[in-house]
Structure 1
């Protein structure tokens, strides 16, 4: 009976609404509605009702079954979403389901539900009244199959932000479709335009961020007269923007960024009067902004950055509704229009890296206030506009590398929202407003390379977010306030080349995050605070060229992260602290002080030969560059005791040596397989503390341990008894080089080591260079072992071989972009250290992927310094051609002169290898072409950079790879002057860090802001 009651109720709901008494309609037989009704008998009406209700029940049951198939496909990935999808509950009450007035399913709305699996389109497209499918932002997979064509009533389809594969099914049957979103859905193959052109009701199309086959702009889309939204970013579209784009007069949003578009922006685009957003960034567009562009008076957001646009900005002066204008990395010239000062909504302005001149409008941002402005790397002059932080909204004020003059406006000391202030390398002057030092949200203050004066005020104690304080190369003076230690997030303090005086604040140890303290070339005095040893994160300390006095704090020896310590040219006295023995330093400079006493044994190595110059009172028994300790004056009984001890030790050494010789001679006499190596007189020079002897090394030089052959010698793998592994290189001697054919045989190691009686220039170069280097990205040289006829170098062993092997040989491995990026950054830091961290710059001269070795964690080391040279006082120097084909900088061929920029060129080639997967020289490039010319030819031919990326790099990482390829192109400029320094290369690479955590909705923001500003996405 309960079931019967339900049926009865349902039957009552099946009754059609009677027409009103005043209305009539004609039935198929020509009878009026009233006449027809009079001829229906009650039994006939009851039958009709029963029939209609049975059909409704059947349809409802069928829809329930189809939805159950949908549930079964996804329930395991998110059971909570489907908790209401149970028998006994009306389908219209299912979560995410809507029904029409007839109780039939009209919408499936389940976006962003973590659904994973394949969509059963056959099931949901059997829902006869289905008008909307919204399943975006899930993890849907499989293909968008042919069954979708059965959703003939569909008006809204959103499958974006998923992981589908393959081509899109034919959509031409979906003639009622108005909204189509397949953005970043994973689909590929040919563009689905042929099925779209028949969908004349389409008003919204979003097909961007999919790896479609390259194709021209689809002219079919120009027939869709109702279109108001067109998103085709990152779709591999090439060629020109069609002239008829202006026919889509209803367009409000047009996004064509990250494609391969070339040529000029068509003049017809000025007819799109409703356009509020136009995104064209990262193409190869050229020419000027077209005449009539100023007619786009509804435009709010315009981004055409990273193209080849030129001309002036005059067409933009009429766009009174602009809120965001981004034209960075183009070739615009002329002045910023004065009308920009009247743009009341302008809040984001990014014009960096153009050729703009003149002054900025002084009313710029004075209406509602800027959020950020970046006009860096232009030729702008005049004062900084004073009111851009009106309403306290500005976060970033970036004006690096221009010619601005005048003072920092006082108004900015009240800009509480500001977090980045960078005006490096201008001609600004005057006293910095005191409130700027203490802005609560400021993270970066970079005022370096200007003419500022005055002091850092006590307000800096309020800068609780400050991480970087960069004030170098100005005229600042006075003492550092004690309050600076209250800025607890400080990471870098760089005050070099100013006129600061007084003491370092005693409480500097409170700065636990401080990694760099650079006070070089000032007038600081007093003692170095002992609390500096509490800055546990510090890696670089440079206090050179000041007037510090007193003893060096022994607490500095506890700084485990310290990599570089420069205390030179001061008035420090006392002994070098014994605690320094535990430091792992790549740079140590204590020269030109008043130090005395014995240098700790661990620092008495050739790497630090010049580190103690100008300290007559220090001594060492192991270093040639300072006084021998035994030559120091001695008196009284202590001198006699030392003499007796020395004599006793010398006697014991002589006795043990005689005994060893006797035993060795006896052993050799009884050994029929006499080894000539053991008769040699060996000289081992350690450059680190060693846990092995020369005998262990020599005994392991056997043909079965040979692991490599190079242009200057063989390399052997040595396994010590304690499990440690080493690499030993035998440098070819003069005689060996004269017989190069012997290099290709694995003859007796003893025979090879007997060749020649003079050390090669490569050996001397490698020892002289590597023995003085200390860096995590430079291969470690433990010691050298020489005899009359043998030259051996003992290195750390790097088990993963060379980058060349991993990219180009049978040892090739699948390397994702993150690994390649980390290798690029590490190798760059190694070269940066060689060029900038070694006193005199070290030019490697043979930078290539085969000289970048990989440790067990795939971290890179720069290796093989056989051609390296220290830069002399004159800068460049001349030598015979050296290097490897494909990596040699072009200027070397006609000048024979090299400097650090030659290494930068070679490193740029390595970056191209990492991005493209290609060898530096390959027949694929064509006659007389190397990888650099090949890349440049592709750009010249208007090919997209993305086509150059190694196909094994995932599509999601290719934009990140393109950033590095741009750096590589910069490094390989024909003109050495235009190449960046390795310090700049490292900075650019760090700013190009992969943005793996950024969601698709803010990726462009990452590109436009993070890359240029060093944000870590």
Structure 2
């Protein structure tokens, strides 16, 4: 009894504490229980207070002390939407932006009758938008941006009476944009961008939104024409309908938007001429109608407006640039690239404004570059490539210290470059290629401390390269070929530790290669061809770790070829037309390198006919007789060998026990190993590659298998033998242990001294590469392509995540994806695969670059340490092949590959330009999702690529009814990676 008294008193005291908190505080405690709070933001929400008014994120009315606001953005809260909030009778504001609220919105949110402001942006909300939200009578602000909401925008939203802001951007809404939104006459801000809506027209009813100030409908699948009723939006300041399928003329009524400041029409299919009447749009500052099909001339009235930015790039505009554009006092950006404009630029352009960006690339402009472009010291980008500008580079540009990016390639510029132009401190790209410029490279170049890329090829520059070039510690590329440069290569050039490409070919340089060249650890291209260089080729070149292009041809190099060059993994080697002597290093003493050594009379190698011959005509006769004898003896020998092999083959059939030990099985076989050899004839060849031939073998039991017979290596060619043995052993070691539906099955193998065979399951539809790019490529529909992509992804995911240790394939390409009778995909050809020795501990060094041209990840250019991310890049290229129908390397791309072409085309011409025209338009939404996944996979930085497990998940979501989120702008790959490596205009 004595113990019950204190327990009863304790209970009564706790009860009194609970009773001290008012009812609204109790409701908020229920909210706290509904949410996960790992950061402890709600730690001061407790029962000891009388009222919640002092709790974090809670605000109350100063008199009634009723809760009016719950504002908890960026708090790390997770869980379902807290429905107890709607029990707070005076609640007017809910802001839970940028948390992890992960449920659907309840229909009973309409019980929050006093709500005026709801911000649930950047959460994980799913499901449809409740149609009951429009029942909240005083709702003024609704922001659901950046969630996973799907379905339609409720038609009931047209009943809102006081709504001024509606933001639904970046969701998964896939219905049509309802015309009923035009009934919300109170709207000032309507933002629906970045949703995968069904194709629909912009409703004429939107012209009723007389109070609308901001209309953002980018990436909403809009089609058809902009209605003329758009001109009734007299208060509109921002109009953005970019990146849609809008077509037809730009409506003339657009000139009635007297308050508009910014118009974004880019990346549509607008055609016809620009409207002529712009005089009413006195507030317009930014106009962007790039990437359309606009024709005609640029209206003079448009250029007379107080514009800040004018972007009409990538159209079909013709004629002259109006002189009035030079009188725009606020102009900072003028982009007109990829048009057909001609004539001269206004002489006063830049004089009356703080011009920052000028891009006139790919036009037909001529005459002088205006001297006033940097009059006010603000010019940062000057892009005039592929025009016909002539005359000198203005001296005033040599004083323009604000310049950062200069591209004057492919014009008719002449004369000397202003000395100060070489040393501008902030320029990171200086491109003067393909002009008629002359004079010396000034020693003032030492001031260009930020210079990363220097292109001066194909000009008439003369004199020595200044020693000051060695002070440019950020220089990555230096192309100075096809000039008249003289003197020695500066010894200071070895200080350029970031230098990746050095091309000084076709000049008149003399002397020796500088001592210490081994310090250029990032150098992957060295081209000094066709100069007057002398001395010996330094051994140190063989220690450059990433060098893969070496051309020293057409010089006066003497002495022996350094054996250290065998350490390099070269894609290109040319030492021809020098004075080299001695033996060719064994690695290069092969027929494939023959042209690399021609024109060196003192060289001698093992190749027949390479060494110089001596003696007169008599000796030639004797040599002819000897050759004839040897040829005849060879014929007799070959006939004898063939007869012997036939007999030996018969002997093997009768003595099966002799070779049975050479065979190794990995599955239960339904055929005899000895049947395989009888099927290997030239009539049954179905493929041939770098490692060997592939045969179709039809066995006695009716089963069909594929047999790969590896090429035999000569005993003299040890490296070839090693390569063959390694490929065979890697294939056996890898496939012999793998059991997965999307990895090709290896039935058995033979590894005898005279025979190396691999027997696989037969894939009747061949490889994806042959089917996609062959005559039947257009027949391969999108559902089949999508299934192939998913199957291949699951196979690679198994290699990367489920094998112990993980396996990196290293040669993922469409030709190594085989298709069965139902077009199911299998990953094949593991000849260069590598098992990672450690798991999740970074990349491992690879002994050589593996892969095929067009599929090789960019990190191979600067490091031998690669991991499974290189497979992911290659798989991304395969996705691009499936989406575009294009080969990874295509003559139509010029110097680009498929990756660069896709990224450039997307940026300049839009998605329709890259999609395979043979694919059905009904699947465009899913195709675009697959394209976005491919773009993520080809990110130039390995860390930004998703894992294969994540790729599989994204592909599964892309094919499901519940569609995944379309990639945002910043998820479409960092296109700036290609910015200065492409010649396709500055928009790249």
Q: TM-score range by the shorter chain?
A: 0.5 to 0.7
Residue 297 of structure 1 is matched in structure 2 by 282
Contact 2:537 2:562 in 1 (8 A): yes
Unaligned runs of 5+ in 2: 1-17, 162-183, 616-643, 662-671, 713-718, 732-753, 773-783, 798-809, 816-824, 835-848, 856-880, 907-913, 940-965
- CA shift in 2, pair 1:791/1:493, >3 Å: farther
Report deviation, 1:544: 0.5
Report deviation, 1:263: 2.1
Contact 1:853 1:861 in 2 (8 A): no
Q: What aligned pairs does 1:220-231 form with structure 2 within 5 A after superposition?
A: 220-231=205-216
Whole-angstrom CA distance in 2 between matches of 1:88 and 1:350: 64
1:901 to 2:891 alignment: yes
Q: What aligned pairs does 1:682-831 form with structure 2 within 5 A after superposition?
A: 713=685, 728-730=691-693, 746=704, 807=785, 812-813=790-791, 815=793
SS at structure 1 position matched to 2:26: helix
Q: 2:610 aligns with which of 593, 601, 626?
A: 626
Report deviation, 1:590: 0.4
1:549 to 2:534 alignment: yes
- CA shift in 2, pair 1:84/1:165, >3 Å: same
- CA shift in 2, pair 1:303/1:86, >3 Å: farther
1:934 to 2:918 alignment: yes
1:258 to 2:243 alignment: yes
Report deviation, 1:607: 2.1
Unaligned runs of 5+ in 1: 1-56, 633-660, 679-699, 717-725, 754-758, 764-769, 783-789, 820-825, 832-848, 865-885, 891-898, 917-929, 962-994
Contact 2:78 2:99 in 1 (8 A): yes
Report deviation, 1:167: 2.2
Residue 92 of structure 1 is matched in structure 2 by 53
Report deviation, 1:309: 2.0
Whole-angstrom CA distance in 2 between matches of 1:296 and 1:523: 59
Q: Which moved more, 1:491-500 or 1:261-270?
A: 261-270
Whole-angstrom CA distance in 1 between matches of 2:678 and 2:336: 57
Contact 1:317 1:339 in 2 (8 A): no
Q: 2:317 aligns with which of 303, 310, 332?
A: 332
Report deviation, 1:489: 1.0
- CA shift in 2, pair 1:628/1:545, >3 Å: closer
SS at structure 2 position matched to 1:595: strand
1:280 to 2:280 alignment: no
SS at structure 2 position matched to 1:295: coil
TM-score (norm 2): 0.66
Whole-angstrom CA distance in 1 between matches of 2:482 and 2:850: 35
Report deviation, 1:746: 5.0
- CA shift in 2, pair 1:906/1:587, >3 Å: closer
Report deviation, 1:180: 3.3
- CA shift in 2, pair 1:576/1:605, >3 Å: same
Whole-angstrom CA distance in 2 between matches of 1:379 and 1:232: 34
Contact 2:37 2:76 in 1 (8 A): no
SS at structure 2 position matched to 1:861: coil
Whole-angstrom CA distance in 2 between matches of 1:318 and 1:307: 19
Q: 1:110 aligns with which of 72, 80, 84?
A: 72
1:135 to 2:125 alignment: no
Residue 400 of structure 1 is matched in structure 2 by 385
Whole-angstrom CA distance in 1 between matches of 2:24 and 2:320: 65
Report deviation, 1:94: 3.0
Contact 1:729 1:793 in 2 (8 A): no
- CA shift in 2, pair 1:237/1:809, >3 Å: closer
SS at structure 2 position matched to 1:106: strand
Whole-angstrom CA distance in 1 between matches of 2:47 and 2:680: 71
Residue 359 of structure 2 is matched in structure 1 by 374
- CA shift in 2, pair 1:1001/1:151, >3 Å: farther
TM-score (norm 1): 0.64
Residue 30 of structure 1 is matched in structure 2 by none
Whole-angstrom CA distance in 2 between matches of 1:810 and 1:959: 17
- CA shift in 2, pair 1:950/1:436, >3 Å: same
Whole-angstrom CA distance in 2 between matches of 1:184 and 1:521: 56
Whole-angstrom CA distance in 2 between matches of 1:1016 and 1:352: 8
Whole-angstrom CA distance in 2 between matches of 1:1015 and 1:139: 40
**Could you list the per-position Cα deviations for residues 310-349 of structure 1 after superposition, in whole angstroms to 9, with x for gaps in the alignment?**
2222155355331122222122222221111011111112
Q: 2:149 aligns with which of 187, 193, 203?
A: 187
- CA shift in 2, pair 1:139/1:481, >3 Å: farther
Residue 949 of structure 1 is matched in structure 2 by 927
Q: What aligned pairs does 1:96-245 form with structure 2 within 5 A after superposition?
A: 96-101=57-62, 102-120=64-82, 122-170=83-131, 171-196=133-158, 198-199=160-161, 200=184, 201-245=186-230
SS at structure 1 position matched to 2:121: coil
Residue 509 of structure 1 is matched in structure 2 by 494
Whole-angstrom CA distance in 2 between matches of 1:815 and 1:669: 43
Contact 1:267 1:293 in 2 (8 A): no
Contact 1:112 1:138 in 2 (8 A): yes
SS at structure 2 position matched to 1:341: helix
1:861 to 2:852 alignment: yes
- CA shift in 2, pair 1:462/1:1004, >3 Å: closer
Report deviation, 1:431: 1.1
SS at structure 2 position matched to 1:293: coil
- CA shift in 2, pair 1:313/1:677, >3 Å: farther
SS at structure 1 position matched to 2:576: coil
Report deviation, 1:558: 0.4
Whole-angstrom CA distance in 2 between matches of 1:139 and 1:707: 62
Contact 2:276 2:301 in 1 (8 A): no
- CA shift in 2, pair 1:429/1:953, >3 Å: closer
Instruction: Identify which of structures 1 and 2 has the higher relative contact order when contacts are C-alpha pairs closer than 8 Å and 6+ apart.
Output: 2
Contact 2:510 2:533 in 1 (8 A): yes
SS at structure 1 position matched to 2:565: helix
Contact 1:341 1:363 in 2 (8 A): yes
Report deviation, 1:462: 2.0
Whole-angstrom CA distance in 2 between matches of 1:409 and 1:330: 29
Report deviation, 1:432: 1.1
Contact 2:768 2:814 in 1 (8 A): no
Contact 1:610 1:625 in 2 (8 A): no
RMSD: 5.5
Whole-angstrom CA distance in 1 between matches of 2:356 and 2:307: 13
Q: What aligned pairs does 1:597-636 form with structure 2 within 5 A after superposition?
A: 597-621=582-606, 623-624=607-608, 626-627=610-611
Whole-angstrom CA distance in 1 between matches of 2:566 and 2:980: 44
Whole-angstrom CA distance in 1 between matches of 2:829 and 2:286: 47
Whole-angstrom CA distance in 2 between matches of 1:452 and 1:498: 10
- CA shift in 2, pair 1:222/1:303, >3 Å: same
Contact 1:267 1:292 in 2 (8 A): yes
Whole-angstrom CA distance in 2 between matches of 1:715 and 1:544: 39
**Could you list the per-position Cα deviations for residues 753-787 of structure 1 after superposition, in whole angstroms to 9, with x for gaps in the alignment?**
9xxxxx9xxx9xxxxxx99xx9xxx99999xxxxx
Contact 1:387 1:411 in 2 (8 A): yes
